[in-house]
Structure 1
Amino acid sequence: MRSRTFGRTGRSVGEIGFGAWAIGAAWGQVDDDEAVAALHAALEAGVDFLDTADVYGDGHSERLIARVLKERGGERPFVATKAGRRLPQQTVEGYSAGNLDAWIERSLRNLEVDTLDLVQLHCPPTDAYYHPEIFERMDRLVEQGKIRHYGVSVERVEEALKAIEYPGVASVQIVFNMFRLRPSELFFQQARQKNVAIIARVPLASGLLSGKFTRDTTFESDDHRQFNRHGEAFDVGETFSGVPYEVGLAAVERIRPLVSGDATLAQLALRWILMFDAVTVVIPGARNPRQALGNAAAADLPALSDATMDAIARIYAEDIKPYVHQRW
């Protein structure tokens, strides 16, 4: 797998990572044996960047990662986690030094390490980005040796642009896929100039871009694709990228003919993201080895043609842009 430099950290990571939300919670029933097998398969395939959070299954995702890495031994992958969503309500005041320290200590225990590779503020309220004291607290945690680097996971381009004004922010995680193109405009340019790593999350639009869903597809009650369709639990942009389900299904049918050879639609969607040099790593989820290996194999696809890139841009402009572009 090709590697890309993770911003100013100087560390290199494979361009396709592993998003560990789905093995924690909120994607239906989790089978731990399958999840562990998926992690092993991804690592065997060359994946060396794992992304999790302290709230994914209330720490379950972090603990599964610790279990797998202990079983494997040897050189550790880059493990990124997140902090902040344990707050009962998102407020600037919630990102106090005491809370940040407690969250970090908990993740250190869950991941069974002395220092966390990367901690990302987990979609804090927009106003938080205008409070430099929060980022100064993260600087102190670096100085204390509890974390090596820190970044942010954002909902909106505005937040991403503000975050990279802080010199300590090493990375920005943002929703970027065929249904969410706005980050590739001003933000990608600014991030490259500041040497900030970009982690592309929700790359398959919550599975829509796998091409496996229909109008009749049903989701379990504990799957966010069921309970957060309209933003009932958290930002609706995290579910199907904020695109109305039926609109997304129709756009997928326009994209499907662009798949060539033995590739899958999901692999095309991942390879599309890798066409953007500003992206450091894309983090599709996987709940079993088959999915993990399929994701990793997307890195082997040849570069997409100009005609394919133009066709996808046209589908976005005609079908998707009115629903999402200015909102996030």
Structure 2
Amino acid sequence: MVPKDLTHRPVTRGLFLSPLGVGTGTSRWASAAVQPDDALLLDGLRRAVQFGVGFIDTADSHRCGHAERLVGKVLKENPGHKMQVSSTVGRVRGSAPHPYAGPRVRHQLEQTLENLYLDELAVYTMESYDFGNGDRYLGPVVEQMRVLRELGQIRAIGLRGPDGRSSARFIHRFLYLFDQIRPDVVWTQASGLLPLADLGDGEDLGAFTSRRSVGLLIASPLANGVLAGRRPRMEGMAADRVEAQTSAITQGLAVLSDRFGPSADALLRVALRFLLHQAQNAVVVVGLGDALQVGRYFDCLGRPLCPTDLTVIEEVFHRIRSTMNPPVDRTVCVEVTSRDGRSVFPVQQGSPLRR
């Protein structure tokens, strides 16, 4: 069962969510090219409901709506459930000229709610940054989303955010869209091996959203299974770099095993508890697997980590990250108009130009 200390968190205005949920963003769910065993995934969803999990993160693009329909099937089987669900818009175009064109957002929401057998979504996230030429659809889409929130069909407006691998250009675009959209929640990916995005001026995405009373949805907390005991995938990487990264991960996880225990479940507890502590305004979403996997996620949580534990874990993860993630070029090319025409100047991330 979900530990009693993991009570619902105030993610944004009037929206309280379970701090640990499940999501359909794993490769078995999200890829149209992969046809997983639906029976196993349905068993995982049913186990989540039995455990009292209160939040599911899905997307209309996951197997072209099939993931939403499987979630809806289980929710329909449990009419007294208290599950809250988030989904996305912006990838699936259908017959419209653009995923954000005209009333497309409202139509897609209606389809999503029908798939899920729900009357409202907890969070509706704009997944794509493509709003047409010159952002022609941005203003109308923002207006539609706010109307949907006022009507009670969605509780919060979401926006996809950067992660620790994002380029300066992506972060610059996010900051611009954040100002235009003023979302209630930001969706991102993070783990002990992939820190929250650095937005400059010494502020990461967690601090940025917390300062603005905006919630975080954090996916991939287990670093694609590495923090659940899976061997890291490093295809296409130079042999010496593979060796260095594998060695750093192995040595770091060995330190954690010595302190917290050698089992994979002990490592799961460390990974999930650490991230939940790092971002108090966040909901952490683990990838949905079969019933056994879902059971492991929530059985392993145990007691909260103590301050000494957290310090040790941060030091270990920092050493691994310093090997895995080389410094990122935070230079943004800013285009300005001068008397002699347009010029492009490099501006370091963290300068006063950062919004």
* In structure 1, distance between residues paired with 2:275 and 2:268: 11
Alignment pair present for 1:103 and 2:100? no
Alignment equivalent of 1:112, drawn from 108, 117, 120: 117
The corresponding residue for 2:183 is 169
Gap change, CA 1:249 and 1:69, over 3 Å in 2: farther
Cα distance change on mapping 1:326 and 1:301 into 2, 3 Å: farther
Give the distance between the partners of 2:78 and 2:53, measured in 1 at CA.
Answer: 14
Alpha-carbon contact 2:86-2:123 (below 8 Å) kept: yes
> Tell me, what secondary structure is at the counterpart of 2:53?
coil
1:174-204 C-alpha deviation (Å, 9 max, x unpaired): 1111222143643211211111110111212
Partner of residue 148, structure 1: 155
Given candidates 7, 12, 19, the residue that maps to 2:11 is 7
Greater gyration radius:
2
The secondary structure found in structure 1 opposite 2:17 is: strand
Letter in 2 for 1:177: S
Alpha-carbon displacement from aligned partner over 1:74-108 (angstroms, at most 9, x marks no partner): 133110011111149xx9x6422322122212212
Take 1:247 and 1:68, find their aligned partners in 2: how far apart are those partners? Answer: 44
* Aligned partner of 1:123 among 128, 134, 139: 128
Alpha-carbon distance in 1 for matches of 2:327, 2:212: 30
Match of 2:78 in 1: 72
Which piece of structure 1 moves more, 165-174 or 103-112? 165-174
Q: Which runs of 5+ in 1 are unaligned?
A: 216-224, 231-243
Write the letter of the residue equivalent to 2:291. Answer: P
On the 8 A contact 1:4/1:281 being kept in 2, the answer is no
Q: Secondary structure at the match of 1:177?
A: coil
In 2, are the aligned partners of 1:129 and 1:162 still within 8 Å (CA)? no
**Separation in structure 2 between the aligned mates of residue 80 and residue 121 of structure 1, nearest angstrom:** 11
Higher strand proportion, which one? 2
Q: Residue deviations 1:6-28, cap 9 Å, x none?
A: 42232322221001123633294
Q: What TM-score do you get using the length of structure 2 for normalisation?
A: 0.73
Structure having greater relative contact order (Cα 8 Å, sep ≥ 6) = 1
Matched residues, percent identical?
Answer: 25
Flag the 1:211–1:65 CA change in 2: closer, same or farther, 3 A.
same
Alignment-mate amino acid for residue 221 of structure 2: P
Count of residues in Structure 1 that have an aligned counterpart in Structure 2: 299
Alpha-carbon distance change, 138 to 324 in structure 1, aligned in 2, over 3 angstroms: same
Q: CA deviation at 1:165?
A: 3.1
CA contact (8 A) 1:211 1:256 kept: no
Residue type of the alignment partner of 2:110:
E
Deviations 1:154-183 (A, max 9, x none): 344445544543575111011111222143
2:63 counterpart letter in structure 1: G
Match of residue 293, structure 2, among 263, 280, 291: 291
TM-score of the two chains, using structure 1 as the length reference = 0.78
Of 41, 49, 59, the match for 1:35: 41
Q: 1:250-301, CA deviations, whole angstroms, 9 ceiling, x for partnerless residues?
A: 4431332113225343332222211213442111112211111122234324
Q: Residue by residue, what CA displacement relative to the aligned partner does 1:205-252 show, whole Å, maximum 9, x if unpaired?
A: 22233222267xxxxxxxxx9xxx78xxxxxxxxxxxxx977654443
Is the 1:108–1:114 contact (alpha carbons within 8 Å) kept by the matching residues of 2?
yes
1:21 aligns to 2:21 (yes or no):
no
Q: Considering only aligned residues, what root-mean-square deviation do their CA atoms show, in Å?
A: 3.2
List gaps (5 residues or longer) in structure 2: 332-348, 350-355
Please state how far the C-alpha of 1:144 moved relative to its aligned partner: 3.9
Q: 1:145 to 1:14 in 2, by over 3 A?
A: closer
Aligned partner of 1:233 in structure 2 is none
Counterpart in the other structure of 1:181: 195
Quickly say closer, same or farther: Cα 1:282–1:42, change in 2 above 3 A: same
